[in-house]
C-alpha cells in the first residue's frame, strides 16, 4: 500500500518520527493548540485529527487513535509501516483495578495482557507477551521523577469490551496483579513488535473499577496535562 492510505491523508514527511496518540482526536487538537508551535494539520479523514509541530525545537506529531484495539491497530500499523514512524506513545485513560491505584495516578504500561484475539493473526505457537519499549519506559520514569510526578509501572489489561456482561472479569485479572484496565495498549505493542518499532502507553486513572470513584472534568484536564507533558518531554 502506498500513501496516502485509506485512513491517513498525509504525504511523505508530513508526520514526525514520534507520534503521541490519545484516543480522542479532540485531545490531539488540544495538545496541538496548547503545546506545539508551527502546527500543520495532516489528517482529517473520518475526523481522526492529526497534527505535526515542534515542541522545544523537536518535531512531534499527535493524532487520535479512536477507541479499542481494532481502531488503534489500523492507525498504528499505517504509521509504522507506511509513514516510517519510529515511536508511538499512547496517552489515554484507564480504570484502576489494584487497591493501591488511586484516581489521578499515572500508570506506565510495562506489559499489556489482553483478552483480545488480536495476536491470532500472527499464528504463533504460544502466547505472546505485549510489552513496552524499555528505552521509552525508562525515559518516562526518569522524566516523571525529574518533574516530581508520581507514576506506577506495571501490567495492564487491554480488553475489547467496555460493558462486560461477566461481572467477575476484573476480579480475576486483579488476582494476577493487573493494575488497570484499558482498551488499546496490547494492539499497539503488538504492531510495534511486528514492525520492529517502539511503543509506550501512559495512562491516567480516571475511575476505579471497584470503588466507583471517578474524576470530574476539571480534574481530568489537570491530570491529563501531567501525562501529556511527560510524553512530550520524551518524544
Q: Over 70: is that where the pLDDT of 216 sits?
A: yes
Q: Over 80: is that where the pLDDT of 198 sits?
A: yes
d(CA 228, CA 182): 17
Q: Over 80: is that where the pLDDT of 218 sits?
A: no
d(CA 200, CA 92): 11
Spell out the domain ranges in the chain. 18-234
Percentage of the residues of the chain whose pLDDT score is greater than 70: 99
Q: What are phi and psi of 94, to 5 degrees?
A: -150, 160
Q: What's the grid cell of residue 89?
A: 506513545
H/E element holding 181? strand 180-182
What DSSP designation does 73 have? H
> What three-state secondary structure class fits 122?
helix
d(CA 18, CA 23): 16
Annotated catalytic residue within 24, 160, 207, 219: 207
Please state whether the predicted TM-score (pTM) of the whole model is above 0.75: yes
Return the pLDDT at 220. Answer: 74
d(CA 79, CA 66): 14
Return the pLDDT at 193. Answer: 98
Return the pLDDT at 2. Answer: 87
Kindly state the average pLDDT of the residues 69-84.
98
Q: Over 80: is that where the pLDDT of 96 sits?
A: yes
Q: How confident is the model at residue 42 (pLDDT cuts 50, 70, 90)?
A: very high
Return the pLDDT at 222. Answer: 62
Determine if the peptide bond prior to 4 is cis (ω within 30°). Answer: yes
Active site residue 133: no
CATH match of 18-234 with 3.40.50.800: no
d(CA 213, CA 205): 10
Nearest to 184 by CA among 170, 201, 206, 172: 201
Q: Over 90: is that where the pLDDT of 217 sits?
A: no
Cβ–Cβ under 8 Å, residues 235 and 89: yes
d(CA 113, CA 102): 21
Kindly state the average pLDDT of the residues 83-98.
98
What DSSP designation does 57 have? T
Amino acid at each position: 500500500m502506498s500513501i496516502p492510505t485509506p485512513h491517513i491523508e498525509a504525504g511523505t514527511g508530513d508526520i514526525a518520527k514520534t507520534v503521541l496518540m490519545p484516543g480522542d482526536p479532540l485531545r490531539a487538537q488540544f495538545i496541538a493548540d496548547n503545546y506545539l508551535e508551527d502546527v500543520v494539520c495532516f489528517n482529517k479523514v473520518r475526523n481522526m485529527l492529526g497534527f505535526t509541530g515542534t515542541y522545544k525545537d523537536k518535531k512531534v506529531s499527535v493524532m487520535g487513535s479512536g477507541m479499542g484495539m481494532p481502531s488503534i491497530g489500523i492507525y498504528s500499523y499505517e504509521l509504522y509501516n507506511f509513514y516510517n514512524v519510529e515511536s508511538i506513545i499512547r496517552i489515554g485513560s484507564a480504570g484502576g483495578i489494584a487497591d493501591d491505584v488511586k484516581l489521578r495516578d499515572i500508570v506506565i504500561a510495562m506489559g499489556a495482557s489482553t483478552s483480545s484475539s488480536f495476536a491470532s493473526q500472527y499464528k504463533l505457537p504460544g502466547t505472546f507477551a505485549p510489552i513496552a519499549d524499555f528505552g521509552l519506559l525508562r525515559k518516562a520514569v526518569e522524566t516523571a521523577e525529574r518533574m516530581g510526578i508520581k507514576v506506577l509501572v506495571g501490567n495492564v489489561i487491554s480488553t475489547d469490551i467496555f460493558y462486560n456482561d461477566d461481572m467477575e472479569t476484573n476480579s480475576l485479572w486483579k488476582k494476577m496483579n493487573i493494575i488497570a484496565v484499558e482498551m488499546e495498549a496490547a494492539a499497539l505493542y503488538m504492531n510495534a513488535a511486528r514492525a520492529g518499532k517502539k511503543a509506550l502507553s501512559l495512562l491516567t486513572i480516571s475511575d476505579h473499577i471497584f470503588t466507583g470513584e471517578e474524576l470530574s472534568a476539571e480534574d481530568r484536564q489537570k491530570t491529563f496535562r501531567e501525562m501529556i507533558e511527560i510524553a512530550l518531554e520524551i518524544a
